[in-house]
Amino acid sequence: MGRSADYSKQRCAIAASLDIIGEPWTLLIIRDAFAGLCRFEQWQEALGLARNVLAARLKHLVAHGIFEQRLYCERPRRYEYILTEKGHELRPMIVFMQDWGQRHVYGTEKSMSDMIHSSCGHALSPVAHCAHCEQRVQMTELDIQTNSDAKSLAELSRKRFIAEEV
């Protein structure tokens, strides 16, 4: 299956993330995993995508440690796909994307679902806080610092491949 973009020369964590979760349907598979879906047939019914596409996305997400497979049926051999800790760490990104889509795509119209903060019962409006000083971060306060010794995705892949051979 051909890729729509080649990020291998990029030296950027966003490009590295897109290399893993940027394929069409991937974020919706992850979104639905947070909603409790864990079996191939569940995703296929919910998303209506081709079996080969879903199989390829799940295989890719397992290979990158977002999901782990758990056998739930011997004959025929079937697996559940369970979010790993690495996969669970994608939740804030999904929450921020849901919020952005609600505000900038749906606007005053309602999307299919809202994220409700269970402690207070209100629709969630996510905010970012600095883990160091614990202050709320205004997006205008962010600066980008370039790292001259950053590795490209291709260099990182070679480094991982060599480490796995040892």
pLDDT over threshold 80, residue 17: yes
Give the number of other CB atoms < 10 A from CB of residue 159. 11
Give the CATH fold of the 13-87+138-165 domain. Answer: Arc Repressor Mutant, subunit A (1.10.10)
The Cα-based distances of 147 to 131, 142, 152 in angstroms read 21, 16, 12
Distance CA 161, CA 100 (A): 37
User: Which helix (H) or strand (E) is 71 found in, with range?
Assistant: strand 67-73
What is the mean predicted confidence (pLDDT) over 47-60?
Answer: 97
**This prediction's pTM:** 0.84
> Where exactly are the structural domains of the chain?
13-87+138-165, 90-126
Which of these, 44, 48, 47, 55, lies nearest to 1 by C-alpha position? 55
Tell me the per-residue pLDDT of 119-154, one tens digit each, with 9 for 90 and over: 999 888 889 999 999 999 988 888 888 888 878 878
